């Protein structure tokens, strides 16, 4: 028997939450942006009215204003978004304990065993949409399918406030005609490579030679082939599973040895960015950072440092990792493998014990968090390679963008 998976995706989440406290903007085009005072700030979310003007997520404020001169700009309040995310997931948990948050405004639900109590997957999806609207005054779109990938694509298929069911019988008609970049996990760079190969639609990808795809994209090629053909069998984890995560790390064996501070900065910048983005995805923070170093002769050391405040910011993980390296390693000695791991994890919503000095030094932390979460939003929409640090571009260390 097939599983029944829902993917619940809030509609214009940041903008919708802001409108709850700004009803005066409800009938006006509005957008949430990283820095309302800057023409170069990025649009994080927009309401339906702004969307009709062509305003899109991740474009600059000046581009959005050119399309919609009357666009009303609101700064983000991430604490509110976390609060509402918890309330929304609490509603999901009243239908199943198999709830896997994918981001602050998206979750997968496995409701296979819940159907005896609440009805079909579509009926459960419609019940959830009705409750979120009546209890929180927010809307969401839900995809219903037999696997996570198609459920995700179902929630994207029709918006706002809709349920779309993708089955074994209809997925070819609904999904295969769509551009290949619409397939989950296909970013701009991957889509460009596929289009050069003559793969323009999801259907083209489904009919491609898996070996040719693997030669072009590596392991990702065979994964995308499976997704296009509905072969995903990844499970939906229990909601509290993320609390069991003990550490989040990333390591690279480089194409050549790291030699000197410039190479080390490139490597640490990339690794810290990946670790921090994964922490935010899991809604966790770290009270410590561990660095493992291996040289070409297999000499290995492991060092760690505890933090006064928990973090999921790349800038702070990067700085701490560099401090460890500078005090523990001769920077002129070659490095073959480097791993950065966030340790001593806690839920990102947990209370923090702040001292007077911590509070005084915290002035720029909110701004850095806003910038890094903006990067998360851009990558979520346009792929992991859509935005990165200049330090990493055109590296010859084997660090992929």
3-class state of residue 3 by DSSP: coil
Separation between Cα atoms, residue 379 and residue 249, nearest integer Å: 19
**Helices (H) and strands (E) in the chain — how many of each?**
16, 12
Q: Are 305 and 288 in contact (CB under 8 A)?
A: yes
Other CB atoms within 10 Å distance of the CB of residue 350: 9
3-class state of residue 89 by DSSP: helix
Helices 314-328, 261-281: crossing angle, 10 deg rounding? 140
- The one catalytic residue in 106, 316, 369, 372 is 106
> Has 106 been annotated as catalytic?
yes
Say whether the peptide bond before residue 178 is cis (omega within 30 degrees of 0): no
Chain mean position to CA 69 = 30
Given its phi and psi angles, is residue 298 left (phi above 0), alpha (psi -120 to 50 degrees) or beta? left
Separation between Cα atoms, residue 64 and residue 391, nearest integer Å: 28
Q: CA separation (Å) from 7 to 110, 162, 207? A: 9, 12, 26
Burial 216-227 (b: 16+ CB within 10 A, else e): bbeeebebbbbb
Q: Which residues are catalytic?
A: 106
């Amino acid at each position: 028997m097939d599983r029944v998976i829902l993917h619940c995706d809030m509609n214009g989440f940041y903008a919708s939450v802001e409108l709850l406290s700004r009803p005066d903007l409800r009938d006006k085009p509005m957008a949430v942006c990283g820095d309302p005072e800057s023409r170069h700030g990025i649009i994080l979310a927009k309401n339906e009215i702004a969307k009709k003007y062509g305003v899109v997520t991740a474009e600059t404020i000046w581009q959005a204003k050119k399309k919609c001169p009357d666009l009303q700009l609101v700064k983000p309040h991430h604490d509110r978004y976390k609060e509402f995310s918890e309330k929304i997931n609490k509603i999901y948990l009243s239908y199943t304990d198999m709830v896997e948050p994918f981001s602050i405004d998206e979750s997968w639900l496995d409701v296979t065993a819940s159907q005896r109590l609440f009805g079909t997957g579509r009926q459960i999806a419609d019940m959830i949409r009705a409750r979120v609207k009546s209890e929180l005054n927010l809307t969401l779109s839900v995809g219903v399918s037999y696997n996570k990938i198609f459920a995700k694509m179902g929630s994207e298929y029709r918006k706002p406030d809709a349920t779309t069911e993708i089955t074994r019988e209809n997925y070819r008609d609904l999904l295969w005609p769509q551009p290949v970049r619409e397939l989950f996990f296909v970013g701009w760079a991957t889509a460009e490579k596929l289009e050069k190969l003559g793969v323009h639609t999801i259907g083209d990808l489904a009919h491609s030679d898996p070996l040719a795809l693997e030669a072009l994209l590596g392991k990702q090629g065979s994964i995308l082939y499976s997704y296009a053909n509905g072969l995903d069998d990844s499970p939906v984890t229990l909601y509290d599973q993320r609390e069991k995560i003990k550490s989040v790390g990333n390591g690279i064996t480089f194409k050549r040895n790291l030699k000197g501070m410039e190479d080390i900065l490139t490597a640490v910048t990339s690794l810290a960015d990946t670790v921090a983005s994964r922490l935010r995805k899991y809604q966790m923070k770290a009270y410590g950072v561990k660095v493992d170093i291996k040289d070409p002769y297999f000499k290995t050391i492991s060092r760690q440092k505890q933090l006064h405040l928990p973090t999921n910011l790349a800038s702070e993980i990067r700085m701490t990792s560099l401090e460890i390296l500078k005090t523990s390693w001769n920077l002129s000695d070659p490095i073959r493998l480097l791993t950065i791991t966030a340790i001593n994890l806690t839920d990102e919503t947990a209370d923090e014990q702040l001292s007077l000095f911590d509070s005084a030094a915290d002035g720029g932390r909110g701004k850095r968090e806003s910038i890094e979460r903006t990067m998360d939003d851009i990558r979520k929409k346009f792929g992991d390679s859509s935005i990165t640090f200049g330090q990493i571009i055109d590296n010859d260390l084997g660090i992929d963008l």
